[in-house]
Structure 1
Amino acid sequence: MNVGVCVPPNKPARPAKPELVSPKEIPAPKNSGLPLNAYMLHNLAHVELNAIDLAWDTVVRFSPYHELLGDILAELGFSYGDMPAHNLLWRECEKSSGDVVARLALIPLVQEARGLDAGPRLVQKLIGFGDCRTSNIVAKIAEEEVAHVAVGVYWFAAVCQKMGRSPCPTFRDVLKEYNVEVKGPFNYTAREEAGLPRDWYDPLKESKQDKERLSEVHDRLARIISMEKENSSLNRGD
């Protein structure tokens, strides 16, 4: 798949080190000249670097929605780039480039959460316009956005816990510090499904149920992450 006029590279850029060799040429721990923990950490660092690159390569090459939306635009006589677009997401990324708490708050918990609110409304507008094909795609994207926000909630809470900070006031502090206003109308059902408590973004609506839902999302995602780590270890033969 081409992205605009660009073609994804066959392999990602790499630093001069480490030297890349075949698996058979990798020395065993006892022959590496490194302490076992250093040996294992180096291997893990390399695996994680490749995992990130593989994920991005998959997104660029095989993103079904970008390609499908582009195809439908072409059928309508248009192409991506024919109209102006905002740079809001990357503006927020730049603002939070030095603060992981702010990055997690501003991107998944604000920007992506807005997709939970706007998605169903856009679906109804498209249905009213008579374009059920596009409305089905938007509905699927909105459905998958719940998981994106849920992962953001999990990691935001985890980072806050590691820093000894409470998630709710920390989230509000970030909004204030970065001058971000979270506006409704809110899709409370989707936000609750993603584990985003109402008292974080809507202080007048604090409830015990929100906290219970957040705990359930944390437990579910913790199990998924644990399984992924276990599978990665098995695949590496650890």
Structure 2
Amino acid sequence: MTDVSEAARAVLATATPHAKVRAARAAAREWRLGRLDHGFSAAMPDRSARPDAPELLPPNRMPKRGRAGSGASRIAMIHALAHIEFVAIDLAFDMLGRFGASFPRAFADDWMRVGAEEAMHFALLDRRLRALGSFYGALPAHDGLWQAAEETAHDPLARLAVVPMVLEARGLDITPATIERFQSVGDRVTARILTRILADEERHVRAGTRWFNFGCESAGLEPVSTWQSLVARHFRGVLKPPFNDSARERAGLTRDFYMVGCH
């Protein structure tokens, strides 16, 4: 029987967007139906497979996007969001395959679900791009998200601290304003997609916070100071407001984690 790590590695090794979506959904379904062993025999690749397009650029070389008013700027914004969700599929399955052996079985339950939901988010945004006359890969995208995976590949607590508790938590902060932007120009379809994504991402941050706290407790570490130390060491950006304090708190990411030195 295939084990969890082999299923996760298969997702990471799949480059074509729609094939990756299918692989992610299939892995989550097989796990839910009890057809995968809770085993970790396979090593995760240093870098996940990527399609030929989009062209990946350093964040500082990305073209500037306007606000959501014009059709071109709306497409650029949706494309950027689709890319985030595409990379998030791999981040979820790398989390599972790389670190799952260090945690109870429920860790696999959570990250299989996260990976399947990220795949669904990407599919919704890609379908929206096509409805607007574009597609994923039509524009360049930045490569900063996978850098966070590379930076934290050695340490499950560092990965949990940076990916769900910083990068995904940032989505909780900025997505409400993005939804309002699309609503303001009458794009209710995209606004509904982003509203769905926002609800799911809150649950993803909650999973990250839950397992970070579990890992700290298991190692006899104090969570808040440990998180702050790991973020200072491994996150290349700056934590800055505005913060969606209510959504973060519902996800277990309370203000004592992130308000120190963030003004």
TM-score bucket (shorter structure): 0.5 to 0.7
Q: Structure 1 residues 130 and 146, CA, compared in 2 at 3 Å: closer, same or farther?
A: same
Deviations 1:67-105, CA, capped at 9 Å, x for gaps: 222222112110001111122221100000001111000
Determine if contact 1:175/1:181 at 8 Å carries over to the other structure: no
Q: Does 2:155 correspond to 1:165?
A: no
Distance of 1:160 and 1:49 partners within structure 2 = 23
Q: Structure 1 residues 79 and 107, CA, compared in 2 at 3 Å: closer, same or farther?
A: same
Q: Does 2:38 correspond to 1:48?
A: yes
What's the offset of the Cα at 1:61? 11
Look up the match of 2:129.
73
Q: Which has the higher relative contact order, 1 or 2, with Cα contacts under 8 A spaced 6 or more apart?
A: 2
Look up the match of 2:241.
184
Q: Does 2:156 correspond to 1:100?
A: yes
For the residue of structure 1 that corresponds to 2:253, the secondary structure is coil
Q: Structure 1 residues 180 and 172, CA, compared in 2 at 3 Å: closer, same or farther?
A: farther
Q: Structure 1 residues 62 and 138, CA, compared in 2 at 3 Å: closer, same or farther?
A: closer
Distance of 1:113 and 1:104 partners within structure 2 = 11
Q: What 5-or-longer segments of structure 1 have no aligned partner?
A: 13-43, 206-238
When structure 1 is superposed on structure 2, of 180-189 and 193-202 the one drifting more is 180-189
Distance of 1:138 and 1:87 partners within structure 2 = 22
Q: Structure 1 residues 59 and 174, CA, compared in 2 at 3 Å: closer, same or farther?
A: closer
User: What TM-score, normalized to structure 1?
Assistant: 0.62
Q: Give me the identity figure in percent.
A: 32
For the residue of structure 1 that corresponds to 2:142, the secondary structure is coil
Q: Structure 1 residues 5 and 113, CA, compared in 2 at 3 Å: closer, same or farther?
A: closer
Q: Structure 1 residues 173 and 189, CA, compared in 2 at 3 Å: closer, same or farther?
A: same
Determine if contact 1:101/1:159 at 8 Å carries over to the other structure: yes
Aligned pairs for 1:52-67 within 5 A: 63-67=119-123
The alignment yields a C-alpha RMSD, in angstroms, of 3.4
Look up the match of 1:200.
257
Q: Does 2:207 correspond to 1:151?
A: yes
Look up the match of 1:125.
181
Determine if contact 2:117/2:200 at 8 Å carries over to the other structure: no
Look up the match of 1:136.
192
Distance of 1:157 and 1:62 partners within structure 2 = 23
Q: Structure 1 residues 150 and 62, CA, compared in 2 at 3 Å: closer, same or farther?
A: closer
User: What TM-score, normalized to structure 2?
Assistant: 0.57
The amino acid that maps onto 2:216 is: C
Q: What 5-or-longer segments of structure 2 have no aligned partner?
A: 1-14, 28-33, 41-92, 98-107
What's the offset of the Cα at 1:66? 2.0
Distance of 1:138 and 1:57 partners within structure 2 = 18
Aligned pairs for 1:209-224 within 5 A: none
Q: Which has the larger radius of gyration?
A: 1
Q: Structure 1 residues 110 and 49, CA, compared in 2 at 3 Å: closer, same or farther?
A: same
What's the offset of the Cα at 1:183? 1.2
The amino acid that maps onto 1:185 is: P
Aligned length: 171
Look up the match of 1:20.
none
